[in-house]
């Protein structure tokens, strides 16, 4: 069996990588260790590169449609990963999940309508509706004995007739929370009662650690199936975000007809050649690579957790159950948010995401991207310890 090397440092300079080339724009310096935007520093797997190179051997890149093999690769993968049997008609390509969220909002709501989110959460959930003149309603997660939970009482209290959509992050970024079947089913019951459409963003679902189980939202109950649009993608899993390949799955016929007519009218559901090739290759040949990569990331989680517990006790790690993002509670450093952000940049030389961008509950936190060689994390943690020790 092929052993992949995740320790390898791949130089990303000269590729217009947001993570590396926009350090100066975002943080005011170029010399920081980039541990922010959520892609990984691992080489794109060989089977995806091979598929793209093979397609490049043909010298015409004309209009291209989604083949049976493309749909079958998704159908088989979703069954393999989540034991969910889906049908071809339920699937549509979308050009990215954030764009997909914008399309759903455009298709199902009017300016002035309300969209519910559960912060701290991936910030485009707030930015996209706001930019589209929808009102964002927060139903912040609550921390119960140090564990994030959805606040259902609060949710019922903030819902009114103008609430049309709830955006669910499953698994939840930041925090890497894998939601239980019961939690998801309860969310569906509330949303059905109030006629609220749920967008289930499941982009991190393939990266759930083996001791946890991801439930695709429509599988948890009849209600969930009847009130939702699910988004998935190989982009986080196989580190191909720049190829722009995601897809929607909609079992409910009424919602599907409305949304797919919207997409078709604008040709938004038509993928690019490389999106189709990369998706087919990832989902046909990706199981072994993914297992090895996930094991490596879990070792990184243990490494970061152990290092911080031993050496930087003023920072507390929220233990993730999925993906390659870690949520660091830095309230023990007793810095105002603005100073906390400056501290990471100026004293530690690190580029992490400012927790406050994720909304209510994010103040005092920073998000660390651990999808990189462990040697990079070691260097970063030593720098962080030194900064904290000399604060």
Ligand X SMILES: Cc1ncc(COP(=O)(O)O)c(C=O)c1O
Ramachandran bin of 12, using left for φ above 0, alpha for ψ from -120 to 50, beta for the remaining angles? alpha
Among 50-58, 90-98, 186-194, 334-342, the segment contacting ligand X (CB under 6 A): 90-98
State in angstroms the smallest separation of the CB of 199 from ligand X.
Answer: 10
By beta-carbon proximity to ligand X, the closer residue of 36 and 343 is 36
Site for ligand X in 223-242 (CB under 6 A): 233, 235, 241
State in angstroms the smallest separation of the CB of 235 from ligand X.
Answer: 5
Site for ligand X in 104-123 (CB under 6 A): 122
Q: Under a CB-based contact definition with an 8 Å cutoff, are residues 224 and 193 in contact?
A: no
The single residue among 92, 230, 246, 279 that binds ligand X, judged by CB under 6 A, is 246
By beta-carbon proximity to ligand X, the closer residue of 220 and 233 is 233
Strands in the chain per DSSP E: 33-34, 91-94, 114-117, 135-138, 142-144, 147-149, 163-169, 197-201, 228-232, 246-249, 316-318, 325-329, 350-351, 353-354, 365-369
The single residue among 23, 115, 167, 169 that binds ligand X, judged by CB under 6 A, is 169
By beta-carbon proximity to ligand X, the closer residue of 141 and 233 is 233
Count residues near ligand X (CB under 6 A): 13
The single residue among 32, 38, 167, 328 that binds ligand X, judged by CB under 6 A, is 38
State in angstroms the smallest separation of the CB of 98 from ligand X.
Answer: 4
What span, in angstroms and rounded, lies between the C-alpha atoms of 273 and 271? 7
What span, in angstroms and rounded, lies between the C-alpha atoms of 42 and 17? 13
Q: Position of tokens 């010298």? A: 59
Neighbouring residues of 46: CB distance < 8 A, sequence distance ≥ 6:
none
Using the rule CB under 6 A, is 326 a contact of ligand X?
no
Using the rule CB under 6 A, is 201 a contact of ligand X?
yes
Binding to ligand X by CB under 6 A, coded x per residue (else -) over 280-319, reads ----------------------------------------
What span, in angstroms and rounded, lies between the C-alpha atoms of 142 and 136? 18
Collapse the DSSP code of 113 into the 3-class scheme (helix H, G, I; strand E, B; otherwise coil) and give the result.
coil
* Residues near ligand X, by CB under 6 A: 38, 96-98, 122, 169, 173, 201, 203, 233, 235, 241, 246
């Amino acid at each position: 069996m092929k052993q992949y090397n995740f320790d390898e440092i791949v130089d990303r300079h000269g590729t217009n990588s947001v993570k590396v080339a926009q350090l100066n724009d975002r943080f005011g310096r170029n010399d920081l260790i980039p541990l922010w935007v959520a892609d990984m520093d691992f080489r794109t797997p060989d089977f995806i590169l091979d598929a793209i190179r093979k397609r490049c051997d043909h010298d015409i890149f004309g209009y291209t449609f989604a083949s049976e093999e493309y749909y079958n690769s998704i159908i088989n993968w979703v069954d393999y990963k989540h034991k969910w049997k889906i049908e071809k008609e339920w699937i549509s390509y979308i050009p990215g999940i954030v764009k997909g969220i914008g399309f759903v909002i455009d298709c199902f709501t009017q300016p002035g309508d309300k969209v519910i989110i559960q912060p701290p959460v991936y910030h485009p959930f707030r930015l996209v509706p706001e930019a589209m003149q929808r009102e964002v309603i927060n139903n912040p997660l609550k921390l119960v004995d140090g564990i994030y939970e959805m606040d259902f009482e609060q949710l019922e209290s903030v819902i009114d007739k103008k609430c049309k959509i709830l955006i669910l992050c499953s698994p939840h970024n930041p925090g890497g929370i894998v939601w239980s079947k019961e939690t998801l089913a309860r969310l569906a019951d509330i949303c059905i009662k109030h006629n609220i459409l749920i967008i289930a963003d499941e982009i991190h679902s393939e990266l759930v650690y083996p001791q946890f189980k991801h439930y695709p939202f429509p599988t948890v109950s009849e209600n969930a199936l009847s009130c939702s649009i699910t988004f998935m993608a190989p982009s986080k899993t196989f580190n191909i975000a720049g190829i722009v390949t995601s897809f929607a799955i909609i079992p409910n016929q009424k919602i599907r007809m409305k949304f797919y007519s919207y997409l078709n009218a604008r040709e938004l559901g038509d993928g690019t050649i490389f999106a189709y090739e990369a998706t087919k290759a990832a989902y046909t040949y990706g199981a072994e690579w993914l297992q090895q990569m996930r094991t490596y990331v879990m070792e990184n989680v243990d490494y970061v957790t152990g290092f911080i517990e031993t050496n930087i006790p003023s920072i507390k790690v929220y233990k993730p159950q999925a993906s390659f993002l870690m949520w660091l509670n830095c309230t023990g450093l007793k810095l105002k948010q603005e100073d906390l952000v400056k501290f990471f940049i100026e004293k530690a030389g690190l580029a992490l995401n400012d927790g406050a961008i994720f909304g209510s509950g994010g103040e005092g936190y920073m998000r660390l991207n651990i999808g990189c060689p462990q040697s990079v994390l070691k260097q970063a943690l030593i720098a962080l310890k030194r900064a904290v020790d000399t604060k």
